[in-house]
Structure 1
Amino acid sequence: MRITHALVQLAVALMAAPDDRHWGYELSKQAGVGPGAMYPRLAKMLEEGWIEDGWQTTEEASGHPPRRYYTLTSKGKAELGALLVKAEQDRRFRSLNLGFA
């Protein structure tokens, strides 16, 4: 997968809580990436086996339509961790101010 600013920002947001469920809207806000850039990358991550998706149960949704969530797989944690290491060493991503050394 091509390393872009949107992908790095999404990786940072996912890896901030690698064992949690991630909801699309909240993930978009946390990563600072719009839906038009985020959802194609999530689809690619699903295809690559980096994430899995699911839907809230009716009980969890409590009155609103069930929301789709994403969780990192073991492969995804390894791949996104490696991607972030590469991004730390790439000066293109320094402007993201993501705490890189």
Structure 2
Amino acid sequence: MRTTHALVQLALALMSAPQERHWGYELSKTSGVRSGAMYPRLRQMLDEGWLVDGWETSEEAGGRPARRYYRLTEDGQRELGALLRRAESDSRFGGLDLRMA
């Protein structure tokens, strides 16, 4: 997968809470990546096995449409951690705070 700003920013957002479920809207706001760039990256991460996805229950949704969530796998945590470490030494990402929570 090509290392782009969108991928690095999504990696930062996902790795800020690696054990938690992440919602698309929340990821877009946290990462600053627009949906048109974000969802193709999420699809790639799903295809690579870095993420799993699912839908919240009707009880969680509370009468509104259910939301899709994304959760990092162990492989995803390892791969995105390595991606962020490589990005630290890449001048293209010098303006990003690459410290993981």
TM-score by length of 2: 0.95
Inter-CA distance 84–99: structure 2 relative to 1 (3 Å threshold): closer
Task: Report the equivalent of 1:60.
Answer: 60
Q: Which residue of 2 aligns with 1:89?
A: 89
Which residue type is aligned with residue 29 of structure 2? K
Q: What letter is aligned with 1:14?
A: L
CA distance in 2, matches of 1:72, 1:54: 12
Structure 1 residue runs of 4+, over 2 Å off? none
Kindly tell me the number of residue pairs found equivalent between the two proteins: 99
Q: Deviations over 1:38-86 (max 9, x none)?
A: 0000000000000000000101100100000000000000000000000
Sequence identity percentage:
67
**Residues in 2 aligned to 1:28 and 1:60: alpha-carbon distance in whole angstroms:** 21
RMSD: 0.8
Q: Point out where structure 1 has 5 or more consecutive residues left out of the alignment.
A: none
Aligned counterpart, 1:75: 75
Deviation, 1:99, is: 4.5
Shift of 1:95: 2.0
Code of the residue aligned with 1:25 in structure 2: it is Y
Cα distance between partner residues in 2 of 1:56 and 1:92:
37
Once residues 99 and 48 of structure 1 are traced to their aligned partners in structure 2, the CA distance between those partners, rounded to angstroms, is: 22
Q: 1:48 to 1:70 in 2, by over 3 A?
A: same
Quote the Cα distance in structure 2 between the aligned partners of 1:87 and 1:54.
29
